[in-house]
Amino acid sequence: ILSVHPEGEVTLKEGGGRCVVELLFSPEQRMPPFTEELQLECLGGFRPLLVIKGCCQGVEVRLDTDYLQFGAVVQRCQATRRIIMQNTGDIGA
């Protein structure tokens, strides 16, 4: 869901050494808002670097039943059943 590149240890030269760090957030399902702290481990200690915040919004559709039975229907007649469809997601569908 959240990946950081480069992976593993990073060494920065003294006097202004730089490194590009890429954070990729790619959720596969709805997620409530979250907050995570990215920390630096250096010389046996930890130091907070930045706070990552995010969430994933999406459409989530549910039906009031998992099974719909029509039974036997006479030829050239019809049977009607009703179901309720509900969007419980964050985005209109």
Write out the DSSP string of 44-65: TEEEEEEEEEEEE----EEES-
Measured over the CA atoms of residue 13, residue 16, residue 19 and residue 22, the dihedral's sign is positive
Of 70, 69, 65, residue with least CA distance to 85? 65
Report pLDDT digits (tens) over 12-40. 899 999 999 999 999 999 999 999 999 88
Q: Is the pTM of this model over 0.95?
A: no
What's the pLDDT at 20?
93
